[in-house]
A and B are shown apart, each in its own frame.
Chain A
Amino acid sequence: MDIGIIGVGNILMQDEGVGPKIAEFLKTQYFFDPEIEIIDGGTLGLDLLPYIEKFKKIILIDIVDFHKEPGYIKILKGEEIPPYLKTKLSVHHVGVQDLLEVARFMGVMPEELVLIGIQPETIDLGLDLSETVAGKISELVNEILKILNDWGIKCVLQSHQK
């Protein structure tokens, strides 16, 4: 298993929880062939290092400040990622930025790293996503599935599996 999907963020902070929520959604709704690993990365930074080292290809899902309208989605690859982490929306972004810098210094960066970011609407205390971001879940999932398809992974809805 050399492909990992890591959803990062804090599920107690509304839209900030979109990463872990997507991870949970993929885990419960899809089968992947060959198998991939899906991780609820929570808000942790360096604790995710073993995963960064373990996978050859990684998709990170997180909120990002693109200075665009809430719900805006953008896919960033490799070197495009760090500049976007400089604008911190959340405390956990400090951790993610450190994580990637440490991984680079240690020489354990994956061959391919993709960040699927979404502009949040609200990151106040609360368990539910904003309607705007909740309405983008299927679009986010589709973007992930497209990338996985490009990487040769078959993604099948569990409800379609006989």
Chain B
Amino acid sequence: MTDELDYYTILGVPRNATEEDIRRAYRESALRLHPDKNEGPEATELFLQVNRAYELLSDQGQREKYDLELIEHEAKMIAKASFGAKVIQSRAKLLQLDEPQVHYLLVDIEPSQDLPEIRPPINLSIVIDRSTSMRGERLDHLRSATLNIMQGLNDGDSTSIVAFSDRAELIVSPDQAKDMAVARARLSQLQAGGGTEIAQGLRMGLGEIQRNFSREGINHLILLTDGRTYGDEDDCIQMADVSADQGIIIHGVGIGSDWSDRLLDDLASRTGGGVAFLDTPAAIEAVMEDIYEKLGRTAASRMRLEGSVAQQVDLRSAFRLLPEPMPMGDSLPMSLGNLPRDGIVRVLLEMVIHPIGKISELTLAHFTIDGDILGKGDESIPLPLEVRIPVSDEPDTEPPSEEITAALSQISLYRMQEKARHEAELGQSAQAARRLENLATQLLASGERELAKSALNEADRLAHSRRLSSEGEKVLKYGTRALMIPAKTGEGET
């Protein structure tokens, strides 16, 4: 961060917040951060910042002066920021309406300067489910996948392997990983048995990453599981939130049809990671290698979208399309994960804009794009990003840009699948089946015959058994998500 502070973000209020909003936000933050309740030094510092923010923003004269300073400061920051951003809006102007309207932003983020030619240090922990169901082929492929990764370690890297069932065990420590013979011997002792308690494995894996935390590199946890965890989901989610704050990414890999995809998605989306679904254990090596290889091509890690949206605006959903498709939460700050050397981070934000009066322009949001460019030595400078749009009483007749419509068509397929699954769970199987048929027609139209077939099969299943198959759920979810990977388009059957 820089020496200048954005007091609006600290209080979590938009720039056009009223005095009352500021007072309310202050009271909430102050209660939460009060030193009587918090012992950590960070909390105390935040508490002081919140107090300073309130002092300044609650005084009309001081606030006006600060607003000017902030604008000036941001202009300077933009000039030297480490990142550049391009925003495409779904409409060139909003409509003056006394009803809510929807607006989309497509945000492309890239580094703004020359990147050092380095492969960043990788601090990795591979957390493996060793429950009974992993026995045989699954564990065999996993052993060879982890050995492959350890063969490619660089000097500054740190790798550990943790296995868990109902308790966790450090199979290969970062020191042991440096000696292939030792690592191989240790891995051969990895045997299957017991239940699945993800929180156990996660805690130990995160502990290893924290111990070897690398500011100059990537801190990454890969969680592989084929089963469901019961009762410790909240624990896992809490750990994911802490990881997100620390800049550790959690990447999920689910094998077969019986793992809890929602938990893995949740952990990954909170930390800026991704999730892979494997229907066969034979794919483990390739998927792990792909994840590891991408880590080596990272330009910046700990990418974050911070800031706030205007008072009239609600962030309804966010979807990261690149480098890896992933639905994100709907609140700021948002962890976006890694920015690849040869690509961009692309996020689609869906906003609901509440009735806007007779104004000619609306500032939708003040974002800050932050992250750490790796291998630069000095701290990266975040990019302030103000998004504005004219408001008019004439509707915008220009069609939205192709990029935004293409992104939305893909997301819309994904959402239909989500909705059908939700309806099936509520027992509305007829409705869910109709929706899957709709999805199938859309998929068919875009040439995705295999996926269309799966959707129709699940629709049939709903008619007969009133339930979706847990495999079908995952095929549709990760299948529609994979449609967003650019290399994948055009690869479908003709």
A and B bind: no
Q: Interface on B for A, CB 8 Å cutoff?
A: none
